[in-house]
Amino acid sequence: MSTRRVLTLVATAAALTACTIVPTSGNPPTASEEERGGDILSQTYVRILAQPPRPDATAVEIVRGFQAAMASSDDPQHKVARQYLTGPAATGWQPWATATTVCDCRFADDLPEEDADKFAVSFKGKKVATLDKGGRYRATASEETVDASFTLIRVGGEWRISEAPAGLILLRSDLTRAYAPVDIYFPNLTFTGLVADRVRVPIDPSKGLPESLIRTLLNGPSGPLAGAVENVFPTGTKLNGIRVEGETLYVDFSRPIAGLRGSPDRIRAMQAQLAWSLGTDRIGGRYIEILVDGETFPGGGIRFKSTDFPTYDPAVVTGDLPGYFVRDGVMQRVAKDGEQSAPVLGAAGQPTRPFDHAAVSSEDRDQVAALMRDETGVWATQLVEGSPWQRWINAQGRLTPPSWDRNGEVWSVESAGGKSQVWRASTVGSQSPVSAPDLVDADVSAFRIARDGVRVAVVSDTGAGQTVQIGSIQRGRTYQVSALETLVPPEEGQKVVDVAWKNATTLLVLTEKNDSQQALAAYPILDGDEKTPIELSKRLASITSTDSRILASDVNGALTVWDGKKWNLLVKGGSSFPAYPLG
């Protein structure tokens, strides 16, 4: 047999094996390899098997076994975990009463007196994160701790837990073994694009990850996205199962999904949801075909590939985008190699109306919005010859720099007299107020729509200092900005200089401490992972970004670009307000 053939067989065997974690009362879990069938949708996984209490287990071993059983994917109702509890405690214990706590914790090693009938075991450590019932993971930003206590009594001579904290408590290692982080996607309310939602999916040993992922998708969006995105699967839709035959992945749903027939926009959005959520990395280049109770979807069937929906990309803009900046009151396009920067077409390329804080819409719309130096409001123009400036938003108070969404609407927040009002407009005369209850009493200095058109980054101050929050936009008969969550908390002496979306799920935040020391970092917003610092060589005044580059102007007017490794000078001086489309 050839060497290549041997390596192929070894790789195939490795892909079809999995680890089984078998926790026992008092002993650390041990791993053993387990063979799976030949389903090409299978993946390497770690199986955690809940084990019942061992006879004559010590009090500490009972508590350790109970905690280990909480993480078992083979026991979703936690029947084995309840065996570690007394009868009344097992009945009253509510594992889903609160969000699951993830921690780096240790059990106390104290032992009860030999004749003791009651004992308490403490469980302490650093709180890492929480995990809600929908699978939304949120890292803990502060130095929060866990200080839990389990009370045990003897029942028939055996130790059992009589009092346990509500909710599940997982060790960080439990989370890694028992849950898979996945990005699932939901269409916006106009069915024109997708929005990413990251959840932790319990690893079910009896199913492949794609099947668990689809079942999670049917549950709808988690947390702040509820009400801001659609889940186009009709109510009551269940997944009967999935299977692979040749080059096709068949996804079999229950009868309610047939209710989409006659709604082409919803059908296409549903296809995009599945295509992007499953992704080519999980199903390769296979077709996806929708079945209804094992039969072809009524009306001719639904068959597609995961690569068929590029226009639904949450990032909206991809590739090597042109950058823009303002110089001497004129917007210019950043020069490519061997070229000179040149003014844009239309009113923005003419020095007749000095403006600041220019923002560029998506490339297919070619629009610019800005704040005029000598007039109030947000003004917009097209990047075409002869296009004039027009006032889209008319407001007398201080306005935040304008921000475009993927639907061609421009947004800004007016602050006056200690109050704030969010405004949006899609053309002249279409200005509309947007409800934002959490911002009414805040001084808002920045309001940036993410490229997915749903999430928004807000820099505001309610008296405790500037903070950066992430919220979502609910669109319908009325619009509302809601579900604000703190990304960067206020800190004494800290000023938020600027924010910019790197992509649909990462926000760049430029801060300054005590009017001197600056810091730039990329914050993933989906699950609160650690920020990634980006080195600075100069003091910056404004930033914009794409997924691969950061364009910045410094306090001396130099324009530089970060290519992922270093800052490169583009313009020596006189530049300000860099902009990428929808940045």
Q: What CATH number did the domain enclosing 410 receive? A: 2.120.10.30
C-alpha span between 403 and 415 (Å, rounded): 16
Q: Which of 345, 416, 351 is nearest to 381 (CA)?
A: 345
Structural domain harbouring 517 = 324-579
Domain count along the chain: 3
What is the structure's pLDDT at 2? 37
| Beta-sheet pairing, 302-305 with 287-292 | antiparallel
What is the structure's pLDDT at 47? 62
- Domain boundary pick from 124, 158, 178: 178
The residue type found at 85 is L
- Domain boundary pick from 178, 208, 238: 178
Instruction: Identify whether residues 126 and 173 lie together within a single domain.
Output: yes
Instruction: Identify whether residues 277 and 330 lie together within a single domain.
Output: no
Instruction: Identify whether residues 259 and 373 lie together within a single domain.
Output: no
Q: Is 318 inside a domain boundary?
A: no
Q: From residue 145, give the alpha-carbon distance in Å to each of 17, 70, 128, 562.
A: 37, 20, 8, 38
Instruction: Identify whether residues 43 and 108 lie together within a single domain.
Output: yes
Q: Is 304 inside a domain boundary?
A: yes
Q: Is 317 inside a domain boundary?
A: no
Q: Is 574 inside a domain boundary?
A: yes
Q: Is 358 inside a domain boundary?
A: yes
Instruction: Identify whether residues 266 and 351 lie together within a single domain.
Output: no
Q: From residue 425, give the alpha-carbon distance in Å to each of 31, 224, 399, 457.
A: 59, 24, 14, 18
CATH assignment at residue 99: 3.10.450.50
Query: Residue 409 is encoded by which pair of tokens?
Result: 């609407």
Q: Is 169 inside a domain boundary?
A: yes
What is the structure's pLDDT at 320? 75
C-alpha span between 307 and 391 (Å, rounded): 40
C-alpha span between 76 and 133 (Å, rounded): 12
Instruction: Identify whether residues 385 and 464 lie together within a single domain.
Output: yes
Instruction: Identify whether residues 234 and 160 lie together within a single domain.
Output: no
SS3 for 358? strand
Instruction: Identify whether residues 279 and 425 lie together within a single domain.
Output: no
Question: Phi, psi at residue 580, to the nearest 5°?
Answer: -110, 155
Q: Could you identify the residue written with the tokens 């364009």?
A: 551
What is the structure's pLDDT at 71? 85
Instruction: Identify whether residues 248 and 130 lie together within a single domain.
Output: no
Q: Mean pLDDT in each 10-residue stretch from start to end of the chain (583 residues)?
A: 31 30 39 40 62 91 93 84 95 90 90 86 92 85 86 94 92 87 92 92 78 91 88 95 94 97 95 93 90 95 93 83 90 77 92 92 89 93 95 95 95 93 96 96 96 96 95 92 93 95 95 91 86 94 94 96 92 93 87
Query: Residue 166 is encoded by which pair of tokens?
Result: 């509500």
Instruction: Identify whether residues 74 and 211 lie together within a single domain.
Output: no
| Beta-sheet pairing, 17-24 with 46-48 | parallel
- Domain boundary pick from 148, 163, 178: 178
C-alpha span between 21 and 30 (Å, rounded): 5
Element (H, E) at 211: helix 209-218
Q: Is 210 inside a domain boundary?
A: yes
Instruction: Identify whether residues 85 and 228 lie together within a single domain.
Output: no
Nearest-5° Cα angle at 369, 365 to 372: 155
Q: Is 451 inside a domain boundary?
A: yes
Instruction: Identify whether residues 439 and 532 lie together within a single domain.
Output: yes
